[in-house]
């Protein structure tokens, strides 16, 4: 039970731990999913806006290029220009139409005309002539070559100069109508300096924000290369990313932070609760374990606790251990006489005394009821047991009462062949049983033979039980005769059991029947059978033996009455023989039964008189009708003191004025002496052995008739 409850608590702890971990994991996962979704949205928003800005810058550059390219195309593809540039005053014409214009024309700052050979025909910047080749280098020649290769379409290119970056556009000068002629053409080049103003204008027009012209872009900014001839990057426009996602993110950041903090508090609270629950369960487990292994009345270990200790002792290397089982003698009487409250108090006092008497190395426990035990070193077990028996003999004082109990002890060694605590307990229990059997205050050590004895006893009990069920135990009858005349006065019924293994002495099987709880039934059967037999024997008495165990049964008188009634047997013909033992244990119940049966005429004889210690007072109190002198006194007549003991015993009977039967009379001499001493009845082999009913009839009844 203890094991199961422990397992249950452990599995509950595990479950709480698991659920908490799982819960925390799931909630953490959800939180990180939400967070990464928000971060993803922020980055996506940033990316989308960066792409938009990229497109805007591309458009800005393209529109700038397109504008300059179409201006060049308008001026280059022009019949007048073609004609004039081919004429003698080409330079003047070029100046008039283009060079002069460059001074304050918003669309270009530079106007250059190259001859088909590549030589400069006219080159003006801001209305003033300048050295195009040294300012623009190879770029202008390459641009002119690309322009003549692309027909009427103008081409563009960014060109770095000492002054700054120019966008240059070139177109072959040609007539509008006829298409390009076969001959080599001159080229018109316009260029516009990308001033900060222009960049700012583009920035504003295309809604970019922070657009700058730079030689190399900074890595934390978005950028777009400005391409020269052959696709070479000659400069860059760069601008900062607006990162609208970050703006949004910053907006929700507070909420996220608050949510995160709340979440953290929540998780911490959950974990704290789980820890508290697990701690509680742990405490419960410890408490349940204590409860499962301890006795509530005395606080000592209980049986389960002892079994645990035995397991520990078995597996530990401390020297050999032994177990002593202690059973209080007469505890039941204390309970019966004073009630359970006093009984409980006594148990506590006994526990106290045990603890005080034993050294601290022993493990003391209460197995239940009035059974205690201690586990200790095998060397000490004998000494400890003796000390305990002595200590428990000292009277206890409870509420003004003085209560005396004693203790019987059975011990067993924890040898290596003992598989578990149950076997050790069983062995000690068997030794205890033996101790109780042999009297009060005994200590018995377990030996292998005890097992054998117990098995034999159990087998005997089984056999007897079957014999009683089948009414196989039957009475023999021994004659009781008048000491003076020798005539038959009665018979004593003596139980006989002859199983297939041969006859068993009643002294053996009556004891077995008492222990096995068969005596009530067996006694009733013997009474029934002998009454049935004796019914036909007019007048003579019938004596039947009654065990003290039977007399302790409150039903006894009723059973006897019923048997007498059923058989219509005269109660005054029946004598019940009882021994002094009855006077010792539970005399009150016996007294009640005796009184009730005496009231209907049943007589009582004190059996085995002379070998007990009953006081005259007690004998008188019970009102015996007859005494039966024990056979040992009769046998002792041969000895020196025998006669003295006999006459002392008989004078006691005479003082009480009770007639006496002599038992075990075997010789004429004994018969004479006993008769002379005042015995009025004789019984024994001299008169007749126990015999069958027919023999009684043949030998005594027919002879008398």
State in angstroms the smallest separation of the CB of 569 from ligand C2E: 16
State in angstroms the smallest separation of the CB of 307 from ligand C2E: 41
Burial of residue 227 (number of CB atoms within 10 Å: 0-12, 13-18, 19+): middle
Contacted by 510, from ligand C2E, Ca ion, none: CB < 5 to 8 Å by type: ligand C2E
Residue with tokens 């009640």: 592
Question: Pattern of binders to ligand C2E over 615-654, x per CB under 6 A?
Answer: ----------------x-----------------------
Name the segment binding ligand C2E (CB under 6 A); options: 295-303, 411-419, 542-550, 552-560. Answer: 542-550
Of 99, 343, 610, 664, the one binding ligand C2E (CB under 6 A) is 664
Q: What is the DSSP string of 225-255?
A: EEE-GGG-EEEEEEE----HHHHHHHHHHHH
* Contact yes or no for 629/649 (Cβ under 8 A): yes
* Contact yes or no for 665/686 (Cβ under 8 A): yes
Contacted by 343, from ligand C2E, Ca ion, none: CB < 5 to 8 Å by type: none
- Which of residues 327 and 520 has its CB atom nearest to ligand C2E in the complex? 520
Of 69, 546, 557, 660, the one binding ligand C2E (CB under 6 A) is 546
Output the CA angle 139-141-144, nearest 5 degrees: 110
Contacted by 664, from Ca ion, ligand C2E, none: CB < 5 to 8 Å by type: ligand C2E
User: Nearest-CA neighbor of 422 among 367, 378, 467?
Assistant: 367
Residues 6 or more apart whose CB falls under 8 angstroms from that of 315 comprise none
State in angstroms the smallest separation of the CB of 662 from Ca ion: 10
Residue 690 is a binding residue for ligand C2E (CB under 6 A): yes
Q: In what order do the strands lie in the sheet with 371-377?
A: 363-368, 371-377, 321-329, 406-413, 443-445
Question: What single-letter DSSP state applies at residue 87?
Answer: S
Residue 526 is a binding residue for ligand C2E (CB under 6 A): yes
* Contact yes or no for 547/514 (Cβ under 8 A): yes
Residue 135 is a binding residue for Ca ion (CB under 5 A): no
Residue 510 is a binding residue for ligand C2E (CB under 6 A): yes
Residue 49 is a binding residue for Ca ion (CB under 5 A): no
Tell me the two tokens of residue 169: 């556009």
State in angstroms the smallest separation of the CB of 510 from ligand C2E: 5
Backbone phi, then psi, for 158, in 5-degree steps? Answer: -85, 140
The neighbour count for residue 265, using CB atoms within 10 Å, is 10
With CB atoms as reference, the residue minimizing the distance to ligand C2E is 684
Contacted by 245, from ligand C2E, Ca ion, none: CB < 5 to 8 Å by type: none
Residue with tokens 């005394």: 353
Backbone phi, then psi, for 76, in 5-degree steps? Answer: -85, -40
Rounded CA gap, 701 and 693, in Å?
10
* Contact yes or no for 683/674 (Cβ under 8 A): no
Of 200, 369, 685, 698, the one binding ligand C2E (CB under 6 A) is 685
* Contact yes or no for 548/577 (Cβ under 8 A): no
* Contact yes or no for 169/146 (Cβ under 8 A): no
Of 506, 560, 574, 696, the one binding ligand C2E (CB under 6 A) is 506
Name the segment binding ligand C2E (CB under 6 A); options: 55-63, 65-73, 330-338, 505-513. Answer: 505-513
Rounded CA gap, 690 and 621, in Å?
32
* Contact yes or no for 576/604 (Cβ under 8 A): yes
**Site for Ca ion, residues 580 to 609, rule: CB under 5 A:** 607-608
Name the segment binding ligand C2E (CB under 6 A); options: 49-57, 164-172, 330-338, 661-669. Answer: 661-669
* Axis crossing angle, helix 340-357 with helix 331-338, rounded to the nearest 10: 140
* Contact yes or no for 523/532 (Cβ under 8 A): no
Q: In what order do the strands lie in the sheet with 222-227?
A: 212-214, 233-239, 222-227
Name the segment binding Ca ion (CB under 5 A); options: 361-369, 373-381, 571-579, 670-678. Answer: 571-579
Name the segment binding ligand C2E (CB under 6 A); options: 40-48, 323-331, 531-539, 545-553. Answer: 545-553
Tell me the two tokens of residue 553: 């049964």
Of 684, 693, 696, 700, the one binding ligand C2E (CB under 6 A) is 684
* Contact yes or no for 180/82 (Cβ under 8 A): no
State in angstroms the smallest separation of the CB of 368 from Ca ion: 39
Name the segment binding Ca ion (CB under 5 A); options: 78-86, 533-541, 594-602, 657-665. Answer: 657-665
Of 345, 362, 429, 607, the one binding ligand C2E (CB under 6 A) is 607
- Which of residues 406 and 548 has its CB atom nearest to ligand C2E in the complex? 548
Of 58, 91, 390, 505, the one binding ligand C2E (CB under 6 A) is 505
- Which of residues 339 and 486 has its CB atom nearest to ligand C2E in the complex? 486
Residue 479 is a binding residue for ligand C2E (CB under 6 A): no
State in angstroms the smallest separation of the CB of 670 from Ca ion: 15
Residue 661 is a binding residue for Ca ion (CB under 5 A): no
Residue 508 is a binding residue for ligand C2E (CB under 6 A): no
Q: What is the DSSP string of 403-457?
A: E--EEEEEEEE--TT--SHHHHHHHHHHHHHHHHHT-TT-EEE--HHHHHHHHHH
Cα 542 to Cα 474, 537, 539: the distances in Å are 15, 10, 10
Name the segment binding Ca ion (CB under 5 A); options: 10-18, 241-249, 257-265, 575-583. Answer: 575-583
* Contact yes or no for 451/443 (Cβ under 8 A): no
Determine the 3-state secondary structure of 216 from DSSP. Answer: coil
Determine the 3-state secondary structure of 488 from DSSP. Answer: strand
Contacted by 495, from Ca ion, ligand C2E, none: CB < 5 to 8 Å by type: ligand C2E
Of 178, 183, 507, 588, the one binding ligand C2E (CB under 6 A) is 507
Of 20, 71, 156, 545, the one binding Ca ion (CB under 5 A) is 545
Name the segment binding Ca ion (CB under 5 A); options: 177-185, 191-199, 521-529, 659-667. Answer: 659-667
Name the segment binding ligand C2E (CB under 6 A); options: 129-137, 304-312, 440-448, 502-510. Answer: 502-510
Please give the residue ranges that form the binding site for ligand C2E (CB under 6 A). 478, 494-495, 505-507, 510, 523, 526, 545-547, 577, 607-608, 631, 663-666, 683-685, 690
Please give the residue ranges that form the binding site for Ca ion (CB under 5 A). 545, 577, 607-608, 663
């Amino acid at each position: 039970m203890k094991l199961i409850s422990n397992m249950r608590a452990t599995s509950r702890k595990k479950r709480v731990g698991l659920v908490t971990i799982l819960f925390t994991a799931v909630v953490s996962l959800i939180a990180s999913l939400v967070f990464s979704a928000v971060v993803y949205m922020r980055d996506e928003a940033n990316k989308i806006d960066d792409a938009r800005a990229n497109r805007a810058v591309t458009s800005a550059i393209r529109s700038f290029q397109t504008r300059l390219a179409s201006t060049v195309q308008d001026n280059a593809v022009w019949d007048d220009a073609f004609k004039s540039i081919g004429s003698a005053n080409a330079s003047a014409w070029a100046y008039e139409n283009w060079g002069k214009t460059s001074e304050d024309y918003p669309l270009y700052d530079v106007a250059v005309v190259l001859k088909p050979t590549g030589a400069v025909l006219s080159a003006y910047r801001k209305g003033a002539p300048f050295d195009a080749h040294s300012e623009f280098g190879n770029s202008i020649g390459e641009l002119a070559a690309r322009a003549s290769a692309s027909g009427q379409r103008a081409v563009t290119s960014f060109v770095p100069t000492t002054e700054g970056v120019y966008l240059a556009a070139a177109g072959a000068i040609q007539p509008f109508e006829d298409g390009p002629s076969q001959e080599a053409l001159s080229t018109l080049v316009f260029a516009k300096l990308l001033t900060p103003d222009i960049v700012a204008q583009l920035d504003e027009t295309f809604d970019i924000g922070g657009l700058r012209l730079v030689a190399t872009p900074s890595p934390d900014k978005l950028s777009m290369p400005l391409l020269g001839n052959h696709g070479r990057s000659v400069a860059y426009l760069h601008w900062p990313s607006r990162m609208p996602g970050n703006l949004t993110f910053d907006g929700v950041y507070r909420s996220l932070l608050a949510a995160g903090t709340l979440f953290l508090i929540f998780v911490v609270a959950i974990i704290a609760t789980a820890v508290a629950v697990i701690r509680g369960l742990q405490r419960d487990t410890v408490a349940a374990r204590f409860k499962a292994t301890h006795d509530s009345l005395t606080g000592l270990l209980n049986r389960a606790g002892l079994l645990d200790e035995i397991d520990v002792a078995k597996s530990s290397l401390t020297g050999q251990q032994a177990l002593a089982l202690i059973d209080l003698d007469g505890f039941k009487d204390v309970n019966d006489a004073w009630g359970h409250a006093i009984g409980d108090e006594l148990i506590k006092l006994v526990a106290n005394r045990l603890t005080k008497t034993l050294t601290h190395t022993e493990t003391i426990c209460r197995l239940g009821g009035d059974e205690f035990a201690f586990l200790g070193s095998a060397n000490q077990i004998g000494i400890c047991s003796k000390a305990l028996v002595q200590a428990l003999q000292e009277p206890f004082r409870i509420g003004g009462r003085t209560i005396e109990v004693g203790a019987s002890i059975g011990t067993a060694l924890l040898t290596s062949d003992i598989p578990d605590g149950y076997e050790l307990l069983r062995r000690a229990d068997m030794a205890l049983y033996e101790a109780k059997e042999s009297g009060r205050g005994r200590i018995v050590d377990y030996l292998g033979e005890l097992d054998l004895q117990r098995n034999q006893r159990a087998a005997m009990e089984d056999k007897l039980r079957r014999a009683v069920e089948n009414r196989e135990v039957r009475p023999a009858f021994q004659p009781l005769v008048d000491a003076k005349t020798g005539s038959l006065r009665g018979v004593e019924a003596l139980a006989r059991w002859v199983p297939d293994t041969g006859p068993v002495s009643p002294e053996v099987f009556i004891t077995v029947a008492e222990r096995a709880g068969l005596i009530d039934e067996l006694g009733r059967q013997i009474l029934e059978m002998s009454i049935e037999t004796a019914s036909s024997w007019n007048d003579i008495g019938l004596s039947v033996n009654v065990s003290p165990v039977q007399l302790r049964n409150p039903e006894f008188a009723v059973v006897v009455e019923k048997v007498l009634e059923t058989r219509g047997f005269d109660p005054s013909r029946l004598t019940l023989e009882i021994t002094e033992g009855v006077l010792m244990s539970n005399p009150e119940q016996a007294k009640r039964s005796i009184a009730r049966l005496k009231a209907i005429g049943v007589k009582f004889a004190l059996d085995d008189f002379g070998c007990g210690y009953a006081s005259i007072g007690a004998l008188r109190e019970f009102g015996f009708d007859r005494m039966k002198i024990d056979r040992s006194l009769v046998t002792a007549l041969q000895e020196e003191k025998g006669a003295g003991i006999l006459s002392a015993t008989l004078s006691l009977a005479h003082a009480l004025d009770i007639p006496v039967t002599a038992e075990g009379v075997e010789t004429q001499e004994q018969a004479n002496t006993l008769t002379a001493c005042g015995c009025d009845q004789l019984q024994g082999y001299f008169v007749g052995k126990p015999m069958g009913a027919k023999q009684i009839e043949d030998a005594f009844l027919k002879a008398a008739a």
